Each structure stands twice: as structure tokens, then as C-alpha cells.
């Protein structure tokens, strides 16, 4: 079997993956800030790193996968105050919604889902260590800030020099900071803020900054150094850059060995985001498309490439996934284990081990589906189904997928079956014109009929 290679953002190249502990992988992924419903950009992060942990496990690694939840943040406070509800009421509502969306998309729950508010003591300890190391200071406004210029390696993940950052004015000038590039570790409380976001600290009442949360949670659950840290491309700077500065500044040794970043979801060539107002929530998309189609759509593109959202692309994904399920429709897969030495499985593994190259892996699946269609081989059907499982796909019965719905006002099963019965009655009465009309009418509504030997009629959604 080929060796896994991962594109390491820190090294700017593909590197052979060598875990810190043989056979074990520790992975942390930045999760959601829970003040609203998740959009398709969030779905991509969840699906991509679900794929990564699935393939690591399928490759024989023992994986500890952590994906955090940011449940304290300026936007969360603002939204809760606007809604007249507590922080915990707001965040729990959207955590529940996030979990519903993730489950629909076939995303396996991480081993740990730490909430930032439950790790404040660890954050305070980390800030104290940074202060002892000369990298943190309390400003006049009461905030505790990180002194960026006192950390020698700042900019190594993003490839930005301090002078470039200063010239670009990437950080707003704050008179409480010694340098505009410094970032907040601990925010002093404001009188207007709810009491539930005020924690005691050596520097006075306040709450943690966003960046320190991930450093503290990852260290507590995975150790001071671990294998893989992932997240969206937009987090590379400043969030992940700041995590490195905090963690390495506190512990004086490397933080993460492999940094992985997935590409943006784009709409009309702009990044999908709440700030631009061009986002689609997962649940909005799922009103029109089967969740497995959405998962297929996300995985069909390489995780580092831009993903262009459109109904046309999702329609194409539905047709492509239909081809795979159709191959399994008339042949029963045998119950033997996956044959890793079979030609398609070898191609699939080679693709996945090449930085999770799903487009090439899918090409192997479609070639395999063509052979299943031709040979009706239970062994090849098993290969297709089990390789699909590594992607979180093809685990329903073909009938369940092909008849899935209704979505966006489509006909439900009872209405379809009633039309099929009416067509059968018309054929029995030799009213073939009426039978043809019913078939054509169903087709215009996205329902394809297939007449089988013995008078049986099967249906699927187009």
C-alpha cells in the first residue's frame, strides 16, 4: 500500500505523513462559532475532515479527533442580547442545529467536542505562562495582549513578514496595544455585557480571546504537540498563526506537525460568507437536495480547491451519484471483506494517499461501477459499496437513494404509486395512450418509470 502524503501548509509542500506515535494520530479541527445556522462553507469543513479521519482509521491508524465549539464570542453576545435570551440558550440551540445538519450529511461525531466556556481555567493557565515568558502584557484598557514582535517565528504559517502585515494594516489600531499587530488573549469585561460572560482572572473580570481558546483546548485534549491541525483556508491567518505563537511561545517547542486547510466555497467567484450575505445554510440546501448528494458534491472536488456552488453543480452531483447507486440496484453485494489488492481498490487507495485526492478516487469508483453494470458481479459490487464507505457514501439501499425525497415540493411516494397504479389499469384496459400520458407526466415531474418482467414497474427520481 502506498504511503500517505499530506499537503502541509506550514511546509508549503506535500510531505510523507509520519505520526508522532506510530499507529496513532491526534487531530484538531477548528469548529463552528454557534450564533447562527451553519452554511455550506461550514459543511465543507465538517465533511472534509470527516473524510480525513475516516481514511486515517481505514488505513489502520488509531485516531483521536477533536473538533471544538466556540460558544463565547462578540457575535454570540450581540445576538443573544438582541434576542433577549441567555448565551447558553442561544448557543445550545445552534449546537443542536449543527448536530442535526452534521448527522444529515453523514458526518461521524468527533471523539471530543470541547466547548470553549468549559476550558477557561486552561486558558488562564496558558496566558499566565505567556506572561511569565515575556510574551503577554496587560494594557491600560484592562485587556491582556500577546506581544507579537517578541515571538521570533511569527508569520511562518502564512508566509507574511511583520513588516508586510504592518503595511497591510491587517489589525485595527488599538490604543491599549503596544503594537497594532498584538492580539488580545483576555478581554476585560464591559459593564454592558451579561454576567455569564465574565470570569475571574489574575487580570480582573473578563473573557478569553478567540485564539487562546483553541490553543488551550487542543493542548488539554491532545497534548502540547500533536499531528494534524485543520480548518478552513480563511483561518490560516490570523487565527492559526496566532495559535502557533501562543502554543509555541508558552511551551517552547513545536506545536503541530501538519497543517491542513480546505478551500473556500464560492458563489459567483466570491467566498461564501455571512459577512458578504451570499451564503446558503445547510438546511436551506437540504430542502432541495438529498444530504448524500450534498456530501458527494463537496467531496467531488479536491479539498484544497475552490468549490463553486450552484444548483447546476448539485444537479450534476445528483446524476453522478445516481449512476453509482444504479450500478448496485440489480446486483447484491457479497458479504466478504474489502479486497485491498483488487485493481480498483489499489487505484482508490493510491489516490486517497496522495493528499486525499478524491477526484481521482471517484474516477476509480465510476470505472468500477461500469464493470458492475456489465458483469453483475457480487464481488465487484461489494468493492464499490465498501470503497464508497470510506467516503461516507453508498451505504443506503439503491432503492432508498433512488426514491429519496420528496424535496422542494416534489411528488411524494404515495402520489407516485397512485399514478403507477392508474397507468397499470390503463394498460390493462388497452388504453395505451393514457398509459403513455401518465409516464410522460411523471417524467416531467422528475419521476422515471422502468417496466420489469412480470408486469412490475419500478420508479426512481431523475
Binding site, annotated residues for ATP: 274
Residues 388-393 have a mean pLDDT of: 98
Residue 175 binned pLDDT confidence (cut-offs 50, 70, 90): low
Binned at pLDDT 50, 70 and 90, residue 447 comes out as confident
- Give the pLDDT mean for 83-89: 96
How many residues comprise the chain? 462
Average pLDDT over residues 330-334: 93
- Binding site, by residue number, is 30, 214, 239, 243, 274
C-alpha–C-alpha distance, residues 59 and 57, integer Å: 5
> Hunting for cell 397507468 — which residue is that?
423
The answer to whether the CB of 250 falls within 8 A of the CB of 126 is yes
| Alpha carbons 115 and 66: distance in angstroms, whole number | 11
Is the pLDDT at 173 greater than 80? The verdict is no
Question: Cα separation of 320 and 304, whole Å?
Answer: 21
Q: What cell numbers appear for 302 in the block?
A: 479536491
Query: Binding site for Zn(2+), residues?
Result: 30, 214, 239, 243
Residue 417 clears pLDDT 90, i.e. is over it? no
Residue 174 above 60 pLDDT? no
pLDDT score, position 61: 98
What confidence score (pLDDT) does residue 424 get? 85
Specify the pLDDT at position 462. 76
- Residues of the chain with pLDDT > 70: what percent? 96
pLDDT grade for 171, boundaries at 50, 70 and 90: very low
pTM for this prediction: 0.92
Cβ-contact 108, 54 below 8 angstroms: yes
**How many Cβ atoms from other residues are within 10 Å of residue 11's Cβ?**
12
What values do phi and psi take at 18, rounded to 5? -130, 110
Cα-trace Rg, the chain? 26
What domains are defined for the chain?
20-267 (3.40.50.620), 320-402 (1.20.120.640), 413-461 (no CATH)
**Once rounded to an integer, what is the mean pLDDT over residues 275-296?**
90
Amino acid at each position: 500500500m502506498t504511503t500517505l502524503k499530506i499537503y502541509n501548509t506550514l511546509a508549503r509542500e506535500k510531505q510523507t505523513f509520519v505520526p508522532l506515535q506510530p499507529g496513532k494520530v491526534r487531530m484538531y479541527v477548528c469548529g463552528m462559532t454557534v450564533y447562527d445556522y451553519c452554511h455550506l462553507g461550514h459543511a465543507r469543513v465538517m465533511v472534509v475532515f470527516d473524510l480525513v479521519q475516516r481514511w486515517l482509521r481505514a488505513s489502520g491508524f488509531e485516531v483521536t479527533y477533536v473538533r471544538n465549539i466556540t460558544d463565547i464570542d462578540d457575535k454570540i453576545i450581540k445576538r443573544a442580547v438582541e434576542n433577549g435570551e441567555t448565551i447558553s440558550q442561544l448557543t445550545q440551540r445552534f449546537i443542536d442545529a449543527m448536530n442535526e445538519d452534521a448527522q444529515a450529511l453523514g458526518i461521524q461525531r468527533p471523539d471530543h467536542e470541547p466547548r470553549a466556556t468549559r476550558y477557561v481555567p486552561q486558558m488562564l493557565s496558558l496566558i499566565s505562562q505567556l506572561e511569565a515568558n515575556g510574551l503577554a502584557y496587560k494594557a491600560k484598557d484592562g485587556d491582556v495582549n500577546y506581544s507579537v514582535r517578541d515571538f521570533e517565528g511569527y508569520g511562518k504559517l502564512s508566509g507574511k513578514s511583520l513588516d508586510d502585515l504592518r503595511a497591510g494594516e491587517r489589525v485595527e489600531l488599538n490604543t491599549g496595544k503596544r503594537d497594532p499587530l498584538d492580539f488580545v488573549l483576555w478581554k476585560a469585561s464591559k459593564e454592558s455585557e451579561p454576567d455569564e460572560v465574565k470570569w475571574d482572572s489574575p487580570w480582573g473580570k473578563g473573557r478569553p480571546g478567540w485564539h487562546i481558546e483553541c490553543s488551550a483546548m487542543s493542548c488539554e485534549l491532545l497534548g502540547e504537540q500533536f499531528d494534524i491541525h485543520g480548518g478552513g483556508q480563511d483561518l490560516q491567518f490570523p487565527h492559526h498563526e496566532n495559535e502557533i505563537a501562543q502554543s509555541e511561545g508558552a511551551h517552547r517547542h513545536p506545536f503541530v506537525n501538519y497543517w491542513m486547510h480546505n478551500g473556500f466555497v464560492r458563489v459567483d467567484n466570491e467566498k461564501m460568507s455571512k459577512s458578504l450575505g451570499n451564503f446558503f445554510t445547510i438546511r436551506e440546501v437540504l430542502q432541495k437536495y438529498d444530504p448524500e448528494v450534498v456530501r458527494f458534491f463537496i467531496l467531488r472536488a479536491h479539498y484544497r480547491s475552490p468549490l463553486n456552488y450552484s444548483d447546476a453543480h448539485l444537479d450534476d452531483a445528483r446524476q453522478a451519484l445516481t449512476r453509482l447507486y444504479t450500478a448496485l440496484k440489480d446486483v447484491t453485494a457479497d458479504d466478504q471483506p474489502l479486497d485491498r489488492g483488487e485493481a480498483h481498490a489499489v487505484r482508490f487507495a493510491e489516490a486517497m494517499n496522495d493528499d486525499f485526492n478524491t477526484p481521482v478516487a471517484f474516477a476509480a469508483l465510476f470505472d468500477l461501477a461500469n464493470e458492475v453494470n456489465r458483469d453483475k458481479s457480487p464481488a465487484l459490487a461489494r468493492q464499490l459499496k465498501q470503497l464508497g464507505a470510506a467516503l461516507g457514501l453508498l451505504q443506503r439501499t439503491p432503492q432508498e437513494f433512488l426514491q429519496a425525497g420528496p424535496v422542494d415540493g416534489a411528488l411524494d411516494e404515495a402520489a407516485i404509486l397512485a399514478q403507477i397504479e392508474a397507468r397499470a389499469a390503463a394498460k390493462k384496459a388497452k388504453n395505451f395512450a393514457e398509459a403513455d400520458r401518465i409516464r410522460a407526466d411523471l417524467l416531467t415531474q422528475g419521476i422515471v418509470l422502468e417496466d420489469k418482467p412480470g408486469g412490475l414497474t419500478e420508479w426512481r427520481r431523475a
